[in-house]
Amino acid sequence: MVLIARLIQGVSTGIEQPAANAAAMEIARPGRQGLFSGVVNVAFNQGGNLMASLICFLASMAFGTSAMQSWGWRIPFLIGGVAALIVLLMRRSLPETGASVSTNVKLASTAAIWRGI
């Protein structure tokens, strides 16, 4: 079951990352495209690996080797599941960039999300 979940996660990330890069490049101000694309790549690649390693390390330190071998290995999966639900709820609240909106309005509303970068 975990293997199937990881396969689905890998496929969905492989589909999502190019779309996120394209969206970041489209809404970036001139001269900032590299920064926007870099933020997306770091979040997808290094950010996820760093968080997973950190959570596993902290769980190992908190529970010890014997507890991690018997039941503690489930804790990082639980944290990841809760994080996935939070991200899903956050993504549902983002403005839609659908085809019914004109290009100028679509880019302006999406760019408002990235103003802090």
Residue 68 lies in a domain: yes
pLDDT value, residue 115: 62
Q: pLDDT-derived band of residue 85, with 50, 70 and 90 as boundaries? A: very high
Residue partners of 25: CB distance under 8 A and separation at least 6:
33, 36, 37
Mean pLDDT for all residues in the chain: 81
Domain count of the chain?
Answer: 1
C-alpha distances (whole Å) from 51 to each of 11, 27, 54, 80, 90 are 20, 27, 5, 10, 18
Residue 59 lies in a domain: yes
Residue 117 lies in a domain: no
Q: Are 117 and 36 in contact (CB under 8 A)?
A: yes
Residue 37 lies in a domain: yes
pLDDT value, residue 57: 93
Residue 98 lies in a domain: no
Task: Write out the residue range of the structural domain in which residue 42 sits.
Answer: 2-93
Pairwise pLDDT comparison (74 vs 19), residue with the higher score: 74
Residue 84 lies in a domain: yes
Residue 116 lies in a domain: no
Residue 105 lies in a domain: no
